[in-house]
């Protein structure tokens, strides 16, 4: 299907068209014209609106597919639908599976089952066997099968020697590791950020120190061992400061932030709603502002959905018994936009597009004539309302159900495939 995007403001810092309004004609999956005005000819779908914006296709570097093993929470098919509706043309899948994504066969399962979908599904293999932190996984085999990097997801590597060996081995195969920072000997049993709110609610806290101490250790190992490390979700001001210093010292480190941590702080937990129970937890207002500033300045490289589906039995419990996680593929953009504001849209888009692609080593994309179309269309002024009808995930663990959020995804184009909300 040929597509004509009418009068859209292009957001792409690397493009000569940045912040300019143009018509974009897509024929056979290729951008064939970018002009002030293009007249539709023949069978063409016209996309237009008063506040239409277009960028390169968004990439989410942190999602859980739950397939295979937990298909009652999510499947690869519902993950793809949710991602497309949320504006993503690529989504990275971490290990939240049974069996684990720790061998060639499991990586091939993800790759083969998601071929020719509207969203490119990019699997991460585990760093260790079954993601349990004991023995190094078969990284070379998994990379050959399509694994872009290696991550034990929310399980932090306790063994410092394992971090060192993983860095060295992944570097040898031209890859990198993604490691969650949480010293579980400090955070063990915690539910929310440690502070006044946790004391007031009588809930065990997760100290900021648990993240910061583990981050400091991992950065020290990176400095010693070399290689490349990505920290998937930082949540405190001190963590931002550590990353900034490490980058200034020339370490090959990048980091991300969960979109919800850009919008909300710990005060929303006063109602004991387990849908706000996330890992890393919602922190203080001071931390939230530091995270926003770090995205805008580029210290934080990427914004992630941190999409983690959970069924009713895992969430509708006493707060301290409920599992961590929210579904957020369809609301990640709105979280970031509402938290950071329209004036930061260029930084938000970069954190969804060029920066994750650079980190992952994906082919660079461009918005120009004769380039393959890989685009996300969105509005800053319209609102997103996620409800039972529009939610494409199999799970509903979100605090945003039936709540209007700023910004709306209009659709995505990925080559000859397209989807519009």
Q: Catalytic positions, please?
A: 306
Question: Please, are residues 119 and 78 in contact by the beta-carbon 8 Å criterion?
Answer: no
Rounded-to-integer distance, Cα 202 and Cα 182, Å: 22
In which residue are the tokens 């969960």 written?
258
Q: Which residues pair with 59 in a beta bridge?
A: 90
The closest of 112, 120, 169, 114 to 141, measured between CA atoms, is: 169
Rounded-to-integer distance, Cα 353 and Cα 357, Å: 6
The closest of 411, 399, 330 to 63, measured between CA atoms, is: 330
The closest of 420, 378, 391, 376 to 59, measured between CA atoms, is: 376
C-alpha 300, offset from chain centre: 13
Task: Return the CA Rg of the chain.
Answer: 21
Rounded-to-integer distance, Cα 407 and Cα 100, Å: 36
């Amino acid at each position: 299907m040929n597509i004509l995007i009418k009068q859209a403001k292009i957001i792409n810092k690397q493009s000569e068209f940045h912040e300019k309004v143009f018509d974009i004609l897509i024929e056979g999956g290729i951008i064939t014209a970018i002009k002030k005005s293009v007249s539709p000819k023949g069978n063409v779908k016209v996309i237009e609106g008063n506040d239409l914006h277009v960028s390169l296709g968004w990439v989410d570097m942190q999602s859980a597919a739950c397939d295979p093993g937990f298909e009652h929470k999510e499947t690869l098919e519902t993950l793809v639908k949710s991602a497309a509706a949320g504006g993503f043309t690529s989504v990275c899948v971490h290990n939240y599976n049974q069996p684990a994504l720790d061998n060639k066969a499991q990586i091939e399962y993800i790759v083969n089952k998601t071929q020719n979908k509207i969203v490119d599904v990019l699997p991460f293999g585990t760093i260790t066997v079954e993601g349990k932190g004991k023995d190094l996984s078969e990284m070379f085999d998994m990379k050959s099968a399509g694994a872009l990097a290696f991550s034990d997801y929310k399980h932090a590597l306790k063994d410092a020697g394992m971090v060192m060996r993983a860095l060295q081995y992944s570097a040898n195969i031209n890859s990198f590791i993604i490691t969650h920072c949480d010293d579980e000997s400090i955070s063990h049993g915690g539910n929310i950020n440690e502070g006044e709110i946790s004391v007031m609610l009588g809930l065990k806290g997760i100290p900021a120190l648990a993240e910061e101490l583990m981050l400091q250790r991992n950065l020290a190992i990176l400095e010693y061992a070399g290689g490349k490390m990505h920290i998937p979700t930082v949540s405190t001001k001190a963590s931002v400061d550590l990353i900034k210093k490490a980058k200034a010292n020339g370490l090959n480190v990048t980091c991300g932030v969960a979109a919800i941590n850009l919008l909300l702080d710990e005060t929303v937990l006063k109602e004991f709603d387990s849908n706000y129970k996330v890992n890393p937890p919602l922190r203080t207002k001071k931390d939230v502002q530091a995270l926003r500033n770090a995205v805008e300045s580029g210290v934080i490289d990427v914004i992630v959905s941190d999409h983690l589906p959970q069924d009713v039995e895992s969430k509708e419990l006493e707060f301290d018994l409920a599992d961590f996680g929210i579904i957020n593929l369809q609301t990640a953009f709105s979280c970031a936009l509402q938290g950071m504001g329209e004036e930061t849209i260029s930084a938000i888009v970069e954190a969804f597009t060029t920066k994750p692609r650079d980190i992952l080593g994906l082919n660079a994309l461009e918005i120009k004539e004769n380039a393959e179309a890989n685009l996300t269309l969105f509005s800053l002024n319209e609102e997103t309302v996620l409800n039972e009808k529009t939610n494409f995930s199999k799970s509903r663990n979100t605090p945003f159900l039936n709540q209007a959020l700023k910004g709306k995804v209009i659709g995505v184009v990925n080559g000859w495939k397209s989807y519009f909300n």
